[in-house]
């Protein structure tokens, strides 16, 4: 592929940008500010809302974008910065990578010390200003110096090469084309870090510009394409407003404006709802931090194991597992009737007056015992509390999975209903809307148990309010869920539509209620994870 041909793919003019704005159709409001649905498109605001590139999406809206659009957005952002800093767009791209695609931080750091930033990024020897990049592509706007006219001895293969077969980076170091190809191909194989590849010369920090990548890898276009992919991936990974859909095998990219908490990979995507901030499944009303804490807590199953270890022991005689549920240390095995001391596991018959009396094992430090006893009691209480929340969290999680599976059946039922009522496709949409509402509610309810678990126990008022909202949403979700499973003959469309609407408003009430300030305490020291020895 010739360089000119390749360049064609990167042409990006002001016209394109306008076109993109026009094409932008599907901008959605996130569930927290109104459900993502077809109606959501109407929330699209002025021209600025949908503009790609450096311009912002309207706050609170988001959209699915194609890979090609991502590339255009990256280019637009680079060009914008290139004009501000009066550097080539390729150079701007490198500089933006340095600050994780934050133009603000780049401006701050670059304006403070342009030389330092440029040399740290390996672009201090790059020449070519912003003029070059606006007219042509991003990938050919950095000038490459000519190789020594008399040819050279390549410092990699040690062979003599004519100038026409050599490639020279902006630093002036030349190598033969074949070695350059091998060098960059090897960098590609090392993975995403290839975007930071420098000139092959020892200790040279000059970054290999895109134009040189193109020349060197023109014979292996699939490697060259990978280089481009890595650059775009870097842009997606580090741009705050972009995120890969985390659902397995989806690969769609979501672009969101400011204040978007969670987004749905739709339409045209897989339908998965996820958090724009942490990339996990959408989790309102719980915060990203609480969700992470909760996940760690749940993963740590040893917590339960610890409790069992602290509270159950084996009979020293027959090894039957014994759970202690009273405060008394005088144990009697239910299997073999062996009597022993819970504290020291010694024979109870040895615990006579000489050892301090039946109920005061002398091998036991009373001071420590009080501590340990209360620890264990606290551990038990804490575990019960955790299990209360976990059971309900888990219940909604299972129900959500069920509702997701139910979607398939719902599609079939929609066809059935349409045929039997001779209605239109729009007329049967309510079934799907209801089913999707159940999924959204289950997901949110799941998170309410994370939220509730970490809610400050002393904030009685807030807890009451929250639990009230939770209870309502739970009740309506169950009702709606039941309705969506009804046989079609007995289904009342109006009722389903109404209940869906009411449920939606309860969902929003709960999320905005929780967001408008219910105090939450972080997971401080967890008493249940502490190994405890004594009984309660």
DSSP 143: -
Residue 200 binds to another protein (criterion: CB under 8 A):
yes
Rule CB under 5 A: choose which of 163, 333, 404, 497 binds Zn ion: 333
Q: Report the residue number, 65 or 81, with the smaller CB distance to Zn ion.
A: 65
Shortest separation between residue 122's beta carbon and Zn ion, angstroms = 9
Binding residues with another protein: total (CB under 8 A): 14
The one of Zn ion, another protein, none whose footprint includes residue 183, by CB under 5 to 8 A per kind, is another protein
Residue 163 binds to Zn ion (criterion: CB under 5 A):
no
> How is 161-200 classified by DSSP, letter by letter?
E-GGGEEE-TTS-EEEHHHHHHHHHHHHHT-GGGGG-B-S
Cα 358–360–366 angle (5° rounding)? 170
Residue 336 binds to Zn ion (criterion: CB under 5 A):
yes
Q: Are 442 and 396 in contact (CB under 8 A)?
A: yes
Catalytic residue among 259, 318, 328, 336: 328
User: Residue 436: helix, strand or coil by DSSP?
Assistant: helix
The three state secondary structure string of 56-73 is CCCCCCEEEECHHHHHHH
Residue 488 binds to another protein (criterion: CB under 8 A):
no
Residues numbered 139 to 198 that lie near another protein (CB under 8 A) are 155-158, 175, 179, 182-183, 186
Q: Of 287, 142, 166, 160, nearest to 216 (Cα)?
A: 166
Rule CB under 5 A: choose which of 258, 318, 387, 488 binds Zn ion: 318
User: Stretches 91-99, 132-140, 200-208, 405-413: which one binds Zn ion (CB under 5 A)?
Assistant: 200-208
Alpha helix positions (H), 328-459: 366-421, 429-454
How far apart, in Å, are the Cα atoms of 471 and each of 312, 327, 384, 468, 512? 36, 36, 20, 5, 16
Is the bond preceding residue 485 a cis peptide, omega within 30 degrees? Answer: no
Cα–Cα dist 262/375, whole Å: 40
The one of Zn ion, another protein, none whose footprint includes residue 434, by CB under 5 to 8 A per kind, is none
Residue 344 binds to Zn ion (criterion: CB under 5 A):
yes
Cα–Cα dist 439/273, whole Å: 10
Shortest separation between residue 93's beta carbon and another protein, angstroms = 23
Shortest separation between residue 213's beta carbon and another protein, angstroms = 15
Q: Report the residue number, 204 or 288, with the smaller CB distance to another protein.
A: 204
Is 328 catalytic? The answer is yes
Cα–Cα dist 330/316, whole Å: 13
Q: Of 30, 69, 27, 70, nearest to 50 (Cα)?
A: 27
Shortest separation between residue 172's beta carbon and Zn ion, angstroms = 7
Active site residue ranges: 328
Task: Kindly list the residues in this chain that would bind another protein in the complex (CB under 8 A).
Answer: 155-158, 175, 179, 182-183, 186, 200-204
Which residues bind to Zn ion, rule: CB under 5 A? 154, 156-157, 171, 173, 176, 179, 199, 201, 204, 206, 245, 247, 250, 252, 265, 269-270, 272, 275, 277-278, 288, 315, 317-318, 320, 333, 335-336, 338, 341, 343-344, 346, 361, 363
């Amino acid at each position: 592929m010739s360089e000119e041909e390749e360049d064609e793919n990167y042409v990006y003019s002001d016209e394109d940008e306008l076109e993109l704005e026009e094409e932008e159709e599907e901008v959605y409001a996130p569930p927290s500010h109104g459900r993502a649905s077809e109606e959501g498109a109407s929330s699209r605001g002025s021209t600025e809302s949908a503009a790609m590139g450096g311009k912002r999406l309207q706050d609170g809206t988001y959209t699915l974008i194609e890979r090609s659009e991502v590339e255009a957005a990256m280019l637009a952002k680079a060009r914008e910065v290139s004009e501000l800093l009066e550097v080539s767009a390729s150079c701007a791209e490198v500089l933006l990578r340095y600050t994780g695609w934050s133009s603000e931080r780049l401006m701050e750091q670059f304006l403070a010390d342009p030389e330092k930033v440029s040399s740290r990024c390996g672009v201090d020897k790059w020449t070519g200003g912003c003029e070059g990049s606006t007219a042509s592509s991003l990938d050919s706007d950095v000038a490459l110096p000519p190789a020594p006219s008399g040819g050279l001895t390549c410092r990699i293969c040690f062979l003599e090469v004519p100038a026409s077969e050599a490639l020279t980076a902006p630093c002036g170091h030349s190598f033969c084309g074949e070695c350059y190809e091998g060098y960059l191909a090897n960098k590609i194989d090392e993975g995403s870090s290839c975007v930071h590849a420098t000139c092959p010369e020892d200790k040279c920090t000059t970054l290999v510009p895109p134009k040189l990548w193109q020349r060197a890898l023109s014979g292996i276009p699939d490697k060259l394409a990978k280089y481009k992919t890595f650059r775009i991936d870097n842009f997606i990974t580090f741009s705050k407003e972009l995120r890969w859909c985390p659902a397995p095998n989806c690969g769609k990219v979501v672009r969101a404006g400011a204040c978007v908490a969670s987004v749905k990979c739709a339409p045209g995507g897989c339908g998965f709802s996820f958090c724009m901030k942490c990339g996990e499944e959408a989790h309102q009303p719980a915060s990203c931090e609480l969700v992470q804490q909760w996940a760690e807590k749940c993963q740590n199953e040893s917590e339960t194991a610890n409790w069992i270890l602290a509270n159950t022991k084996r009979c020293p005689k027959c090894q039957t597992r014994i759970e202690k549920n009273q405060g008394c240390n005088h144990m009697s095995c239910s299997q073999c009737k062996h009597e022993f001391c819970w504290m020291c596991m010694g024979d109870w018959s040895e615990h006579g007056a000489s050892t301090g009396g039946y109920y005061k094992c002398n091998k036991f430090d009373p001071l420590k015992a009080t501590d340990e006893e209360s620890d264990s009691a606290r551990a038990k209480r804490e575990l019960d509390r955790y299990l209360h929340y976990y059971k309900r969290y888990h219940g909604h999680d299972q129900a959500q999975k069920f509702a997701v599976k139910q979607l398939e059946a719902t599609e079939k039922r929609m066809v059935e209903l349409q045929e039997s009522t001779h209605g239109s496709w729009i007329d049967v949409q309510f079934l799907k809307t209801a089913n999707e509402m159940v999924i959204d509610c289950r997901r949110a309810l799941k998170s309410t148990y994370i939220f509730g678990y970490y809610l400050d126990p002393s904030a009685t008022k807030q807890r009451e309010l929250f639990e009230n909202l939770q209870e309502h949403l739970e009740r309506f979700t169950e009702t709606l869920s039941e309705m969506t499973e009804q046989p079609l003959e007995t289904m009342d469309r109006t009722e389903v539509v109404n209940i869906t609407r009411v449920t939606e408003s309860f969902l929003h009430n709960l999320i905005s209620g929780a967001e408008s300030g219910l105090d939450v305490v972080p997971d401080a020291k967890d008493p249940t994870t502490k190994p405890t020895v004594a009984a309660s």
